[in-house]
Amino acid sequence: MKKIILDLDTGIDDALALAYVLGQEAELIGVTTTFGNVLVERATENTLDLLDLFGNETIPVFEGAAHPWGATKYRLSDLVLRVHGQNGLGNVALPRSKRKKELQTGSQFLIEAAKQYGQDLILVATGPMTNLAEAIQLEKAAIETIGRIVIMGGALTVPGNSTKFAEANIYNDPLAANYVLESGIPVTIVGLDVTLKTLISGAPIRAWKQSETFAGKVMAQMAEYYYTNEYENQDIGGAMHDPLAAAIALDPALATHLLPINLTVETAGVSAGRMIGTLPGLLETEKNAQVCLDIDSDTFISRFVQTVDQ
Ligand code: BDR
Ligand code: CA
């Protein structure tokens, strides 16, 4: 069975990605956490609580980065608070887990898992790339052996969602994102180019509300909060950013158009966090990134709704 690690800044769509992976044919060997939608301590708590809620009390959680590279503190923006709520989970209160985070840090676990599983390991990063960057900085040779790395982040062909130029995960740590993308390690980028094709709204959420289980009801409440707030009460739905990245990691065939390209990230100025194709990279034959430009969204949405229904 495939081994997978999720690297989460555990907000609502990260929680939905977690639920999705737990319902798929894959072994989630651990979760690493980072700041982003919430502070890192909250990301760790949310992850432990969610794993308990879904009946997976043995999956270890490794706390990672607390702030972006080049900063000593991370502050939640008004936008983040609006989209994910004060607690990151749409203000839905979960029973507190009695479990504790592991002693190892997020980046240490990524390195250890890479050494143990190499090609058999899939890593899905759905928050700022700080943990991954740290792991590459510490032991690039180990991280290079990971079978597949899929990143939810960036917006190559569409505007950003944090600023006109930048998608939130990249915007929250442009230096780390740049480090990862310029490291030459192959990555698949699932950005707003495709995640905006995965808007879900009323119907599936109403169905989850009928769920007999507490976990089902919690999912419905979180998803409802998210779809009402991501685009400020415009009834257009909420984008399944992180679940799509996880789904493509487990089934690459969902990505129907992949653009091979070398990428870099603007690290300062008004366009900080902008992901761009490097000019020399356009002429080089070796490309380390593949950016998803189209997906089979019908298959993804129905698979997602079905998996979470269970
Ligand atoms: C990304 O930013 C976060 O708010 C979401 O969880 C997702 O990972 C979307 O831009
Ligand atoms: Ca996320």
Tokens of 292: 């998803």
Residue 173, ligand 1, Cβ within 6 A:
no
Please name the residue ranges forming H helices in the chain: 12-22, 40-53, 78-84, 106-117, 130-143, 168-171, 174-182, 192-195, 202-209, 214-229, 241-250, 279-283, 297-309
Residue 94 identity:
L
Q: What's the rounded mean pLDDT across residues 14-21? A: 96
Decide if 152 contacts 172 (C-beta within 8 A): no
Q: Assess whether the C-beta atom of 198 lies below 6 angstroms from ligand 1.
A: no
Give residue 157's identity as a one-letter amino acid code: T
Q: Could you give the C-alpha distances from 78 to 12, 46, 73, 86, 229, in angstroms and in order?
A: 16, 20, 16, 10, 12
- At 285 the pLDDT is 72
| CB of 152 sitting under 6 A from ligand 1 | yes
Q: 283 CA distance to ligand 1 centroid (A)?
A: 31
| Given 7, 9, 14, 193, the catalytic residue | 9
pLDDT given at position 284: 66
Continuous segment of H or E residues that includes residue 255:
strand 255-261
Question: Closest ligand 1 atom, CA of 167?
Answer: 10
pLDDT in tens, 26-71: 999 999 999 999 999 999 999 999 999 999 999 999 999 999 999 9
Yes or no: say if 193 and 157 are a contact pair by the CB < 8 Å rule.
Answer: yes
The answer to whether 9 is a known catalytic residue is: yes
125-175 tens-digit pLDDT: 999 999 999 999 999 999 999 999 999 999 999 999 999 999 999 999 999
Report the alpha-carbon distance of residue 79 to residue 301 in Å, rounded.
26
210-253 tens-digit pLDDT = 777 888 888 888 988 888 877 765 667 789 999 999 999 999 99
pLDDT value of position 34? 98
Choosing from 13, 49, 193, 241, which is the catalytic residue?
A: 241
pLDDT in tens, 248-287: 999 999 999 999 999 999 999 999 999 999 866 666 678 8
The ligand 1 atom at the shortest distance from the C-alpha of residue 239 is 9
Q: Is 84 a catalytic residue?
A: no
Other beta carbons less than 10 A from residue 210's beta carbon: 9
- 272 phi/psi in degrees, rounded to 5: -55, 135
- The pLDDT assigned to 4 comes to 98
| Residue 187 pLDDT > 90 | yes
Q: Which ligand is nearest to the CA of 34?
A: 2
By alpha-carbon position, which residue is closest to atom 8 of ligand 1? 126
| CA angle, residues 266, 43, 183, in degrees to nearest 5 | 35
Q: Is any ligand 1 atom within 6 A of the Cβ of residue 241?
A: yes
Helix (H, G, I), strand (E, B) or coil at 122: strand
Is the CB of 161 within 6 Å of ligand 1? yes
Is there an atom of ligand 1 within 6 Å of 63 CB?
A: no
At residue 198, the 3 state secondary structure works out as coil
